[in-house]
């Protein structure tokens, strides 16, 4: 029967090679006798794409036949990175592909490097979506991802004279073999206009007469699971001019202008907004959000209606997950479709909506919550604003019954913020319209209860939960660190841990085994050599692989305290400068590596990048220092840079002021790869400490509950001399650019120090000294490193997804049997 036999395409090296040659000739249209690495990459990608499509079809046919409850994961951001290596690993054909290409005279690793990153997201939240898609596919859940196909992903960071410059990311310019364009899967997206009342069969109803229509076209990206045939779909929407209506402008005779104007529709999906809250209230961003939401929900409802004649079963068949508040207009859009288009009565529609939707927040500060000016929303989406007001009215009535007339509390909880400008609070809307609200770590939920959503947590305690984030070991170990994985599988006697990550704990019993320790160090050394080559290629700085590679890579933000790291480096430099010759022999050599992007409008973050370059310039060229200390900034940090850097680092830094990082996920990737953590006790690190123990990492700084009191006392606290000294060096122009760095220094001086760098400085230096001391004892270091990997299984996104499936989405695996 159709679909029941194994794939038609074979996966032995010979068949793969034949298919690659076919694609060289007929897809890439190059001569079989002369094609370069990039063309070979394209041909190989198309060969894999064919296999993905086969599995994708089988999976979708199977889902349709079984009709299980499906999860729809709605996110405006996905940081997928590269696909080639990941697909071959998940399809289980990496070695065969490497053989096939080898016989043609190509290196697989070389071809992998030809691919650009798909960077359709900013940072943590977006990479989390990508990791979760991998886990959903691997665990056989019937899930779909929905997102936007931005023409330009996150900006490319170019450093000129130490300053960050942003350039567009032309990721689609060379074609994208990983997507399938579905010209026929498209939906009309309407904006503006007005709401009118219509009389239909004696019943009054609201009709939205929109003013502008564009088209959303689907692009499907197959997501293969590991060790399963299941291949799920990530559907991304692109905006195109609509073929509908608007003939008038053609008839007026201004044909050229009419065409040009319509082409402007494409701007809606043209560019990803950088994570910068100051962008709030921009019309184009709101247009993107609604464009995404309506295309996705129309598609979901169409699929539901394909096999159901009414909405009775909707919430038993559909789980809608909101990745932060960015897609929260979906609540209103589904409500609108149900009441205006499907003629469902309000209360019934509302309970369908609440039962279907769940929401995860990634924010810790009340100020960081998304708001949309009511005027803006009303002009772009007049009917939606009406529905929001109605939801809020009913919610306020319900609240009054429960809480009485406590106006201050009512106004705090209202979806509508009254004031000089009226705003719609998207988080309040999401809480009211979802049956579950999840935080991303245990302490994050505590903060939601205590600070961010205190009133809501008291009102609906059972609604609020947490699912600690995780990262996928497929990408972060198997794809990016194959040597370590080979070693782990050898010692565990199985590769089963790649699907069943709890098996990693089996490494624990070998943590002190000298043979494993020796092999473990060799793997690390090879990874460090690769990283050292890269560092030299991008910066010209030669680094010694005997030094400790100390890494901080993440978005640049004051709360993440890259500045604390830099002050620590300056202190270390200052100590070396003031040392006797004999003292220098005791210094543990370090290569400090920093990487990350600053939001384009975030001045202080940009100054931190410049300071890093200025300090690096001084240190790296100082003959008194030599190999004892080097500082490098890695430009244009992205997923593929992370895949290279993480396996090659010894120590990684996670320095957020306690109470500011909702979770943090970078630390988990380092942990899996046996890099020791130097971290504050914040976000998910708190759980990492519990899992692997305080003595297997370097923990420092104020704790979450100490921070508020410290802030109160800040202006009366004495700053340590060492801290004052390093700040003064920067302020006095030791690293040049005295005037430019003045405002940066001010952020930590005179009681200003909001992120408590001064307060945590001595504790930070102690943790750094402990790391140095341990590094000298390589046996101890390696044992801690092995125990880090062994204890990382709780931080796999497989565990996170399993918890969401059971506790929030109520979905079950649906495994394609062939």
Chain residues in the site for ligand 26Q (CB under 6 A): 122-125, 128, 273, 275, 277, 279-280, 285, 362, 370, 440, 469, 661-665, 683
Residue 472 annotated in active site: no
Cα separations (Å) of 377 from 307, 326, 335, 340, 346? Answer: 34, 14, 16, 19, 22
Catalytic hit among 597, 669, 794, 799: 669
Q: Is the dihedral of CA 174, 180, 185, 190 positive or negative?
A: negative
Exposure class string for 645-679: b at 16+ Cβ within 10 A, else e = bbbbbbbbbbbbbbbbbbbbbbbbbbbbbbbbbbb
Which structure tokens are listed for 709? 């009191």
Burial of residue 1, with CB atoms counted within 10 A of its CB: 0-12 exposed, 13-18 middle, 19 or more buried: exposed
Reduced to 3 states (helix: H, G, I; strand: E, B; else coil), residue 357 is strand
In this structure, what DSSP letter does residue 278 have? G
Residue 554 annotated in active site: yes
Residue 384 annotated in active site: no
Supply the minimum distance, in Å, between the C-beta of residue 489 and ligand 26Q: 29
Report the helix count and the strand count for the chain, using DSSP H and E.
33, 24
What is the rounded distance in angstroms from the CA atom of residue 235 to the CA atom of residue 220?
5
Of 145 and 664, the one with the shorter C-beta distance to ligand 26Q is 664
Cα atoms in the 13 Å half-sphere on the side-chain side of 27: 20
Check if the beta carbon of residue 714 is closer than 8 Å to that of residue 578.
no
Of 147 and 224, the one with the shorter C-beta distance to ligand 26Q is 147
Of 59 and 296, the one with the shorter C-beta distance to ligand 26Q is 296
Residue 245 host element (H or E): none
**Which one, of 359, 209, 196, 375, lies nearest residue 286 by Cα?**
375
Of 47 and 800, the one with the shorter C-beta distance to ligand 26Q is 800
**Which one, of 326, 363, 354, lies nearest residue 438 by Cα?**
363
Check if the beta carbon of residue 547 is closer than 8 Å to that of residue 627.
yes
Cα atoms in the 13 Å half-sphere on the side-chain side of 194: 3
Q: Residues in the chain, how many?
A: 818
Check if the beta carbon of residue 257 is closer than 8 Å to that of residue 138.
no
**Which one, of 119, 135, 145, lies nearest residue 227 by Cα?**
135
Catalytic hit among 336, 362, 590, 654: 362
Check if the beta carbon of residue 433 is closer than 8 Å to that of residue 391.
yes
Residue nearest to ligand 26Q (CB): 124
Cα separations (Å) of 219 from 146, 180, 238, 414, 689? Answer: 10, 5, 7, 38, 42
**Which one, of 672, 673, 705, 710, lies nearest residue 686 by Cα?**
705
Check if the beta carbon of residue 527 is closer than 8 Å to that of residue 647.
yes
Burial of residue 499, with CB atoms counted within 10 A of its CB: 0-12 exposed, 13-18 middle, 19 or more buried: middle
Long-range CB pairs of 276-279, under 8 A, 24+ apart, other chains included: 276/599, 276/600, 276/601, 276/602, 277/367, 277/368, 278/601, 279/601
Catalytic hit among 27, 472, 665, 685: 665
Residue 500 host element (H or E): none
Residue 555 annotated in active site: yes
Residue 371 annotated in active site: no
Supply the minimum distance, in Å, between the C-beta of residue 43 and ligand 26Q: 36
- Segments of 337-493 assigned E as strands: 357-360, 371-373, 416-417, 423-425, 436-439, 464-466
Check if the beta carbon of residue 328 is closer than 8 Å to that of residue 75.
no
Catalytic hit among 560, 607, 613, 783: 560
Exposure class string for 81-109: b at 16+ Cβ within 10 A, else e = bbbbbbbbbbbebbebbbbbbeebebebe
Residue 557 annotated in active site: no
Which structure tokens are listed for 757? 């760098």
Catalytic residues: 362, 554-555, 560, 665, 669
């Amino acid at each position: 029967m159709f679909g029941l036999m194994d794939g038609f395409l074979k996966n032995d090296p010979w068949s793969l090679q034949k298919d690659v040659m076919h694609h060289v000739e007929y897809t890439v249209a190059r001569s079989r006798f002369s094609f370069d690495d990039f063309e070979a990459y394209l041909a190989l990608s198309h060969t894999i794409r064919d296999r993905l499509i086969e599995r994708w079809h089988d999976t979708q046919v199977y889902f349709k036949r079984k009709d299980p409850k499906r999860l729809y994961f709605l996110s405006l951001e996905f940081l997928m990175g590269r696909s080639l290596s990941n697909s071959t690993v998940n399809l289980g054909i990496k070695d065969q592909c490497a053989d096939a290409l080898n016989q043609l005279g190509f290196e697989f690793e070389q071809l992998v490097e030809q691919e650009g990153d798909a960077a359709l997201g900013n940072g943590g939240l977006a990479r989390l979506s990508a990791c979760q898609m991998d886990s959903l596919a691997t665990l056989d859940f019937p899930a779909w991802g929905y997102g936007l196909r931005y023409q330009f992903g996150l900006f490319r960071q170019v450093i000129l004279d130490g300053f960050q410059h942003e350039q567009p990311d032309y990721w689609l310019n060379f074609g994208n073999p990983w997507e399938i364009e579905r010209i026929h899967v498209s939906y009309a997206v309407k904006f503006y206009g007005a709401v009118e009342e219509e009389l239909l069969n004696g019943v009054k109803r609201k009709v939205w007469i929109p003013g502008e229509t564009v088209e959303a076209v689907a692009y499907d990206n197959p997501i293969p699971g590991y060790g399963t045939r299941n291949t799920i779909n990530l559907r991304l929407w692109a905006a195109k001019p609509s073929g509908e209506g608007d003939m008038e402008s053609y008839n007026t005779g201004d044909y050229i202008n009419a065409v040009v104007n319509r082409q402007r529709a494409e701007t809606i999906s043209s560019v990803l907004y950088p994570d910068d809250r100051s962008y709030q209230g921009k019309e184009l961003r709101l247009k993107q959000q609604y464009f995404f939401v309506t295309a996705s929900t129309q598609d979901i409802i169409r699929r539901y209606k394909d096999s159901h004649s009414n909405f009775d079963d909707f919430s038993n068949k559909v789980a809608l997950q909101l990745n932060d508040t960015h897609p929260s207009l979906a609540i209103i859009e589904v409500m609108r479709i149900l009441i205006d288009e499907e003629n469902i009565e309000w209360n019934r529609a509302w309970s369908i909506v609440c039962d279907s939707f769940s929401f995860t927040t990634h924010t810790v500060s009340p100020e960081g919550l998304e708001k949309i000016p009511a005027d803006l929303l009303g002009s772009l989406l007049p009917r939606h604003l009406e529905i929001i007001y109605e939801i809020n009215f009913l919610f306020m009535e319900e609240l009054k019954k429960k809480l009485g007339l406590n106006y201050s509390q009512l106004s705090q909880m209202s979806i509508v913020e009254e004031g000089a400008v009226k705003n719609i609070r998207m988080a309040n809307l999401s809480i009211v319209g979802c049956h579950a609200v999840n935080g991303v770590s245990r302490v994050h939920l505590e903060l939601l209860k205590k600070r961010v959503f205190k009133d809501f947590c008291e009102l609906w305690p059972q609604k609020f939960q947490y699912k600690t984030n995780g990262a996928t070991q497929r990408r972060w170990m198997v794809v990016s660190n194959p040597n370590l994985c080979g070693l782990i599988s050898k010692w565990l006697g199985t590769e089963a841990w790649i699907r069943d990550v709890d098996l990693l704990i089996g490494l624990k019993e070998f943590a002190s085994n000298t043979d494993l320790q020796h092999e473990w160090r060799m793997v690390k050394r090879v990874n460090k050599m690769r990283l050292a080559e890269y560092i030299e290629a991008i910066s010209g700085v030669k680094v010694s692989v005997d030094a400790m590679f100390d890494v901080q890579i993440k978005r640049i933000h004051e709360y993440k305290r890259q500045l604390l790291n830099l002050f620590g480096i300056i202190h270390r430099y200052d100590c070396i400068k003031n040392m006797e010759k004999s003292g220098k022999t005791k210094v543990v050599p370090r290569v400090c590596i920093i990487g990350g992007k600053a939001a384009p409008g975030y001045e202080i973050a940009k100054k931190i990048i410049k300071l890093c370059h200025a300090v690096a310039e001084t240190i790296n060229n100082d003959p008194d220092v030599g190999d004892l200390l080097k500082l490098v900034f890695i430009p244009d940090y992205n997923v593929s840079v992370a895949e290279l850097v993480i396996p090659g680092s010894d120590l990684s830094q996670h320095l957020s002021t306690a109470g500011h990082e909702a979770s943090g996920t970078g630390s988990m990737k380092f942990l899996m790869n046996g890099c020791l953590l130097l971290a504050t006790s914040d976000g998910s690190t708190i759980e990492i400490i519990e899992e692997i123990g305080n003595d297997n990492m370097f923990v420092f700084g104020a704790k979450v509950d100490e921070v508020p009191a410290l802030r109160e006392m800040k202006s009366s606290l004495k700053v340590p001399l060492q801290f004052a000294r390093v700040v003064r060096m920067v302020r006095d122009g030791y690293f040049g650019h005295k005037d430019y760095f003045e405002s940066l220094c001010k952020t930590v001086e005179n009681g200003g120090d909001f992120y408590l760098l001064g307060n945590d400085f001595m504790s930070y230096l102690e943790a750094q000294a402990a790391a140095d001391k341990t590094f000298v004892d390589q046996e101890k270091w390696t044992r801690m490193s092995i125990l880090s990997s062994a204890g990382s299984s709780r931080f796999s996104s497989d565990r996170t997804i399993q918890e969401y499936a059971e506790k929030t989405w109520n979905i079950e695996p649906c495994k394609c049997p062939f």
